[in-house]
Structures are given as structure tokens and as C-alpha cells.
Structure 1
Amino acid sequence: MKVVLFCGGLGMRLREFSDNIPKPMVPIGHRPIVWNLMKFYAHHGHKDFILCLGHHAHVIKDYFLNYDECLTNDFVLEAGQAHLTKTDIHDWKITFADTGLKSNIGMRLKAVEKYLDSLGPDDMFMANYADGLSDVPLDDMLKFFQESDKTACFLCVQPQQSFHYVRLNDDGSVHSIQDTTNTGLTVNGGFFIFKKKIFDYIRDGEELVHEPFERLIADNQLMAYRYDGFWKCMDTFKDKQAFDELHASGECPWQVWREGL
């Protein structure tokens, strides 16, 4: 199944880390976050990727054009030649698509519609923001979506930010105050599954989760797969540090491909 990854945003809240690296290329250990996401999909058998590029697109292109398999794979060095015991991306197909420097997510998705021409209206593809990782059981999510017979589905998770949810009375007095983890509130986790006919709901210039999702809701065509397991996105430098700490400890729940090693 094709996987569309939105890799073109400016990543303004991570500029304190680097002005020269697009957010999907911010590293966790030896590999960027987008590689970790692609490896997750590949583990589940989905290796046909479409990268929606924009900000610093050349950095992402250069990374894969000059990909070094030795960084994350065992190899034998003999007579000056490296012989890999296994490889990461030899069977991946990656389409690099320029979708504009300042395009929103809906515009980026529309820009790569031509690369999904082989799909029929009810054929599925997946999409993601390219800055969040999870150990969500993807096969279960796909089954959930297929059985719904709807047009679109997204991952629904608890917010990771630590803030309080406040309810007010009409006069401005506080009715209640709760930590977000105790409210039952959920947020869009960025893992999407669509049927090709999602494009019938998107108009030029629209943000994906605004007008198009409102139309899907009106037609009862939008599902949310709730998951309470691991999910984390890299929005800020603090998030980057948290990912680094997980990697250093060896606790990387999203690396499902390492199970049993």
C-alpha cells in the first residue's frame, strides 16, 4: 500500500535545534525521525512511499541518494569492502515530490494525487505527518477502517502536553479543572488511512483537517481509531530531548521491527 508522508513544513518550533535541517530529518540516534517512521511502515509491509517535500527538500533527497546502510546494519569488512549482513531500504520505492514551500497539508496531498492515479475510488492509501512515532497495531487499524466502509480514518491519541483543562460557568467562575490525561480528551495522532475518493472532499487551498474533514463528518464518512499505547511527536526541542533519552535508554517502543532481536 502507498504511504504519503508530509515532509515539507517549516518546523519553526524546532529552529533552536537547527535552521538547516527540516523537521523530518531531525535525528534520533543515527537515523532521522522520518526514517524511523518509514521503517515502521516497511515492517508492516508498506514500502511504497511518496514524500511531499518543501522546506529544505535537498536535505531529504541527499540523505537517501547517499544512504549509508552500514550505520544501522551489521557488516563484514573484507579487503576494504563492506559486506552487509542485511539491508534497510533495498526494497523500498520512494517518490520525491515537490509540493511547495508554503503549502498546507491539504495542498500537499492534492499535489501528489497524480502519483495515486493507479488507485480506484475505493482503493486505500496511508498518510502521515512525518514527525510523530507510535507502536500502534497498524494491521488492526487497517481492519477497523476496512470494516467501517468509510472514506477516511485517523489515529486518535491522548495529548502529550502537560496542561490543565478548565471548564467555566456562565459567570466566569471555575466549574472544574483537570489534568488533560483525566479528561478523556483526545487529539489527532497524524496516522491517516484514506480511500482514493478523499480527493472528492478537498478543494484547492484547503487544510486537510478543516473543511475536508468537516465535509466527511457531515457525510458520516470519517472514523477515528483510538489508541492508548505509545505515541509521541517531535514538535519542540524538548520533544527532541525526550526522544534522545528514550533512544539512549534502549526504550524505543516505535521500533517494532526490533521485536524478538
Structure 2
Amino acid sequence: MKVVLFCGGLGTRLRDYSESVPKPMVNIGYRPILWHLMKYYAHYGHKEFILCLGYKADFIKEYFLNYNECLSNDFVLSGGGKQLLMLGSDIQDWKITFVDTGLHSNIGQRLKAVEKHLAGEEMFLANYSDGLTDLPLDHYINNFIRHDKIASFLCVKPTQTFHVVSTQEDGVVTSIQHVTDSDTRINGGFFAFKTEIFKYMEAGEELVIEPFQRLIEKEQLLAYKYDGFWTCMDTFRDKQNLDDMYSQGKAVWEVWKRNA
């Protein structure tokens, strides 16, 4: 299936980095988080990508136009540096479509902007491009197909450090607990759609507000609960945590390395 990646946001919550590079291009190790995500999808056989560009689109285009395979693959250098033999490849069999979807567009507008690039497809995948997981993607897709709904999203527990509070009407607290210990779940940003989704979208609408509400009314929206690894890179602290996992050899989202 084709994979639509939303790469055009301003990334204001990661300001220390997003002022110089777009959020999806912030590095984890040698490669940007966008690459890690694309590598994840490619591992499951989904190697045709549509990038919805906006903020600093030129940075993303130049990265792939000048892609350096040597950074994350083994190679042999000989002839005094004149001969290079690659022992592996990352993106040789990837197909990437770059689409300018507007500087200030919301997610719904970006998805509508690439509708023509999904012509003839029955289903497609989509992602916010700021989260990583070790989710068995094939299981997720099979669940979506089996339930025969129009849309599905990954439903996870939040990783933030805030607390959930319940009160009586007068404000008296009845419970307070860390959000990860509560039943609260959030949209993890990993989507599967039938192309019928476009029938539920109107111009200017945000994807998870009006269109998703229409799907809910028709019982056509599916949540896939997952309690394995998932995290997003919203803040500098999130980036630090991902960097630490990577440097310590605990990058569990690198599912492509499990059988290496």
C-alpha cells in the first residue's frame, strides 16, 4: 500500500530544532525520524511514499536528492578512495512522491491535496511523521481489513508525565493517578484508510474532527489498541529519550534489525 506522510507542520513544540530544520528531519542517531519511520514501513513491504510537504519543504527534498547511503550501510572503499562498493542499501527500491501541500494547511487539507496521487488505490496508510513504534504492522492491517471499516488509527497510552484527575461536581477530588496508569488512550498517529475517506471530508476540515465525527456516526472508525512500544517526538525531552535509546542499543522501533 502507499504511505502518506504528513511532513509540513511547523513543529512549534520542538522549537530548538524546528527553527532550523522541519520536525520530521530532526535526527535520531545518523538519520532523521522521518527516515526511521519510512524504514519501518518499508520493512513490512510498503515502499511507495507520498510526502505532504509545507514548512521547509526544500530541506526534505534536498536530503533525499543528496541521500548518502554510506551513513547507515556497510561499504568497501578501495583504490585510494576512488572505488566504493556498497554492501547494503536503504532506499534503492523506494518510490517517493514529493507534494507541496501548503505552509499553513492542517492535516485534512494536506490529505485532500494528495488525493489524486491515490487514484486507483483501495486502501492506503498515513502517519503524522513524529512517532515511532514496534507495532506489528501486518497484524494492524489485517485487523483493519477484517473489520471492513473506512478508517483505523493506532490507539495507545500517552507517554507524557501528567496526572489524570477525577472530581465531584463541587471540585472534591475522587482520584488522581499518572496518565499511564489510567484508562486514558490517545490517537497514536498511525492510520489505515480506505479511499472512501475522501467522501467524508470537506474543504478546510481537520481530519480527526469533522471527518472522523462523520465516520463515528456511521460506525466506520476503528481504534486498534496497542500496549507495546510507542512514543512521539513532541518536545526536546522526547528527542533526548529517543537519542538515549538509540545510543544504548535499545531502539526497539528498528524492527528491520530483528532478523539481521
The alignment's TM-score, normalised by the length of structure 2, stands at 0.98
Match of residue 203 from structure 1? 202
Q: Percent identity?
A: 61
CA distance in 2, matches of 1:99, 1:222: 25
RMSD: 0.7
Paired letter, 1:255: E
Q: Tell me how far apart the structure 2 counterparts of residues 91 and 172 of structure 1 sit (CA, whole Å).
A: 58
Deviations 1:156-209 (A, max 9, x none): 000000111111101111121111112111100000000000000111000000
Whole-Å Cα distance in 2 between the matches of residues 16 and 88 of structure 1? 29
1:106-185 alignment, distance < 5 Å:
106-119=108-121, 123-185=122-184
Q: Distance in 1 between matches of 2:3 and 2:123?
A: 10
Quote the residue 1:15 is aligned against: 15
CA distance in 1, matches of 2:50, 2:86: 27
Match of residue 92 from structure 1: 94
* Matched residues, number: 258
State how far apart, in whole Å, the 2-side matches of 1:178 and 1:76 are: 54
Aligned to 2:36: 36
Q: Provide the secondary structure at the position in 1 that maps to 2:120.
A: coil
Structure 1 residue matching 2:16: 3-state secondary structure: coil
TM superposition shift of 1:17: 2.8
Deviations 1:70-97 (A, max 9, x none): 0000001122121101111000000000
1:128 & 1:17 partners in 2: Cα distance? 21
**1:104 paired to 2:103:** no
| Corresponding residue for residue 59 of structure 1 | 59
Distance 1:62 1:228 in 2: 36
Q: What residue in structure 2 maps to residue 83 of structure 1?
A: 85
**In 1, Cα distance between equivalents of 2:133 and 2:151:** 19
The residue identity in structure 2 corresponding to 1:84 is: M
Q: Write the distance in 2 (CA, Å) between the matches of 1:117 and 1:42.
A: 21
3-state secondary structure, aligned to 1:46? coil
Q: Secondary structure at the match of 1:220?
A: coil
Q: What is the CA–CA distance in structure 1 between the aligned matches of 2:17 and 2:208, rounded to whole Å?
A: 28
AA partner of residue 89 (structure 2): T
SS in 2 for 1:147: helix
**Are the equivalent residues in 1 in contact too, given 2:155–2:188 (CA < 8 A)?**
yes
State the match for 2:253 in structure 1. 254
Letter in 2 for 1:54: G
CA distance in 2, matches of 1:197, 1:132: 25
Secondary structure, in 3 states, of the residue corresponding to 1:228? coil
* Map of 2:238 onto structure 1: 239
Q: What SS does the aligned partner of 2:215 have? A: helix
Give the unaligned 5+ runs of structure 2.
Answer: none
SS in 1 for 2:108: helix
For residues 67 and 194 of structure 2, the distance between their equivalents in structure 1, rounded to whole angstroms, comes to 32
TM superposition score normalised by structure 1: 0.98
Deviation at 1:260, TM superposition (A): 2.5
- Moved >3 Å (runs of 4+): none
Q: Give the gaps of 5 or more residues in structure 1.
A: none
Aligned position for 2:191: 192
Q: Aligned partners of 1:179 and 1:72: how far apart in 2?
A: 38
Distance 1:181 1:18 in 2: 28
